[in-house]
């Protein structure tokens, strides 16, 4: 058994794939920009205002007298070598201080007034001082010597990794809002576009749901169908055409076979009639009659395709009266009474009178053939357009009430019937937009009910 993937939502999958594509393009754009900036040296030419504070933080310690000292770390040595104008001032909360380089007088005593500030950038007056003078950076950090305040205006060289990280953060800060905006637009617009594109497909699906065996020749519309779906709809239409052709061949074969059988059956009956009377002749005549009934029912099924279209208004009371009059002698000869219960006023439906008469005739004949040869067979007509046929037989088991309408099905395998009568009844009723059902009568027996749509 092959394993099939579960159905998925095209709207959801398309939205997520478009968002993934947008994200991938955005990441690629950021990567290209970073590569271009790195190749040009623009990114690595910047300065890191926290470099001095970071190096001092890792090098700071205390001496035996609890004073502040600097350990001679490789980072500190490199910082001194590459920045000749290096200066910084370190203070702790106990009043100890440590400085290196020429600390500007403007910043030498300012730290004590900013003990409660964790970090700040201290600039010069905009128009009165040299704009090239770097602003001072104040930051309180935790070191091996405890929590201290570091002030410096020296900017160290920015490392490649940090430059790349900072530039990426800056670019993503610009790109992410754009991605969120595009993603929101995608999740809103994509379902709307898919819904509009598939609007014609919904109409085609409705047409497909209405196709049944009685609507041969129906095809799915290609109007307003996306070009991507046209091959599928065309393939379905081609399949429907092949099914129509196969069904037509089958119907022609059955009709031809039924016609061809009528002649040899008639010849067989003629020869059987010439035989001497006896049990064997009786059984052979019954078997021949069964063959004749089978041929006639096959022809009746073919006639369903020729029911009048459009249908006309039909009085079901008149149909019931006609069937009762035709079959009353047969019912009486079989030991039954035939009762008709119908209103005096017409009850109309829309359909084919001949087909409905055949359906009712089959139900009454079925009651005559399978009944106990006694009691009453009733035909009851009621509103809105319902015809019931009742008998006083043994009834039909509940588990077989659906199967009896299938072709060639018989409740009793050795039954003389062909098993097509009830199937034809169902097909005629369905052709008229109605339904047929079978229930038990309150006092025993079976009730077949044909419910037809009333005429409007």
Torsion of CA 448, 452, 454, 456, to 10 degrees: -170
At 182 the three-state DSSP class reads helix
Classify burial at 46, counting beta carbons within 10 Å of its beta carbon; exposed 0-12, middle 13-18, buried 19 or more: middle
Instruction: Give the C-alpha separation, 300 to 360, whole Å.
Output: 13
State the pTM of this model: 0.46
Q: Where are the domains of the chain?
A: 10-44+162-197, 47-157, 205-305, 307-451
Instruction: Give the C-alpha separation, 332 to 338, whole Å.
Output: 7
| Tokens at 88, concatenated | 């910084």
DSSP annotation string for 390-401: E--S----GGGT
Say how many Å lie between the first and final Cα of the chain, rounded.
51
Beta bridge partners of 386: 382, 451
Q: What topology does CATH give the domain 47-157? A: Beta-Lactamase (3.30.450)
The CATH class for the domain spanning 205-305 reads mainly alpha
DSSP annotation string for 265-298: HHHHHHHHHTSPSSHHHHHHHHHHHHHHHHHHHH
**pLDDT of res. 323:** 92
Beta bridge partners of 379: 340, 389
Contacts of 249 (CB under 8 A, 6+ apart): none
- Per-residue CA distances from 300 to 363, 388, 426, 427 (Å): 14, 21, 13, 11
**pLDDT of res. 414:** 47
Instruction: Give the C-alpha separation, 59 to 52, whole Å.
Output: 11
**pLDDT of res. 272:** 83
Q: Is 183 in contact with 19 (CB distance < 8 Å)?
A: yes
Helices first, then strands: H and E counts in the chain: 11, 16
**pLDDT of res. 244:** 83
Closest alpha carbon to 136 in 155, 117, 118: 155
**pLDDT of res. 335:** 85
Q: Count the neighbouring beta carbons within 10 Å of the beta carbon of residue 195.
A: 11
- Per-residue CA distances from 55 to 58, 100, 113, 146 (Å): 5, 13, 24, 15
Instruction: Give the C-alpha separation, 43 to 164, whole Å.
Output: 7
DSSP β-ladder status, 446-451 and 435-440 = antiparallel
Q: Count the neighbouring beta carbons within 10 Å of the beta carbon of residue 11.
A: 16
Q: What topology does CATH give the domain 307-451? A: Heat Shock Protein 90 (3.30.565)
DSSP annotation string for 46-72: -EETTHHHHHHHHHEEE-TTS-EEE--
Give me the phi and psi of 119, to 5 degrees please: -160, 155
Instruction: Name the residue with tokens 């009165």.
Output: 128
Extract the residue ranges of the chain whose pLDDT is less than 70: 1-8, 10, 34, 37-38, 40-49, 111, 123-134, 154-168, 170-172, 174, 213-216, 286, 289-290, 293, 297, 300-310, 408-419
């Amino acid at each position: 058994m092959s394993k099939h993937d579960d159905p998925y939502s095209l709207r959801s999958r398309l939205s997520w794939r478009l968002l993934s594509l947008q994200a991938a393009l955005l990441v690629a754009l950021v990567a290209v920009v970073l590569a271009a900036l790195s190749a040009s040296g623009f990114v690595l030419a910047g300065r890191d205002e926290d470099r001095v504070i970071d190096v001092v933080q890792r090098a700071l310690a205390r001496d035996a007298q609890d004073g502040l000292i600097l350990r001679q770390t490789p980072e500190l040595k490199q910082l001194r070598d590459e920045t000749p104008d290096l200066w910084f001032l370190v203070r702790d909360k106990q009043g100890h201080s440590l400085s290196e380089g020429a600390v500007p007088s403007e910043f030498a005593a300012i730290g004590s007034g900013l003990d409660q500030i964790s970090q700040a950038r201290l600039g010069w007056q905009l128009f009165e001082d040299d704009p090239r003078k770097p602003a001072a950076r104040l930051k309180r950090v935790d070191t091996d010597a405890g929590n201290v305040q570091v002030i410096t205006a020296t900017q160290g060289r920015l490392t490649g990794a940090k430059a790349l990280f900072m530039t990426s953060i800056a670019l993503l800060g610009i790109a992410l809002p754009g991605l969120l905006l595009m993603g929101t637009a995608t999740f809103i617009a994509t379902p709307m576009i898919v819904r509009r594109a598939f609007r014609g497909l919904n109409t085609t699906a409705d047409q497909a749901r209405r196709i049944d065996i009685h609507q041969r020749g129906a095809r799915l519309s290609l109007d307003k169908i996306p070009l991507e779906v046209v091959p599928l709809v065309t393939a379905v239409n081609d399949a429907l055409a092949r099914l129509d052709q196969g069904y037509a061949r089958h119907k022609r074969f059955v009709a031809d076979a039924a016609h061809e059988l009528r002649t040899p059956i008639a010849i067989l009956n003629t020869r059987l009639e010439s035989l001497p009377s006896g049990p064997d002749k009786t059984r052979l005549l019954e078997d021949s009659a069964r063959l004749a009934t089978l041929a006639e029912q096959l022809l009746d099924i073919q006639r369903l395709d020729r029911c009048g279209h459009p249908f006309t208004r039909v009085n079901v009371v008149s149909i019931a009266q006609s069937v009762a009059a035709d079959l009353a002698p047969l019912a009486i000869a079989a030991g039954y009474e035939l009762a008709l219960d119908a209103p005096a006023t017409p009850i109309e439906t829309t359909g084919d009178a001949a087909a409905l008469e055949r359906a009712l005739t089959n139900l009454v004949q079925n009651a005559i053939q399978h009944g106990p040869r006694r009691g009453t067979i009733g035909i009851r007509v009621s509103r809105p357009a319902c015809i019931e046929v009742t008998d006083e037989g043994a009834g039909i088991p509940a588990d077989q009430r659906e199967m009896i309408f299938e072709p060639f099905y018989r409740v009793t395998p050795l039954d003389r019937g062909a098993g097509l009568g009830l199937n034809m009844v169902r097909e005629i009723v369905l052709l008229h937009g109605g339904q047929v059902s079978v229930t038990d009568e309150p006092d025993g027996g079976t009730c077949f009910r044909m419910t037809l749509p009333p005429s409007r």
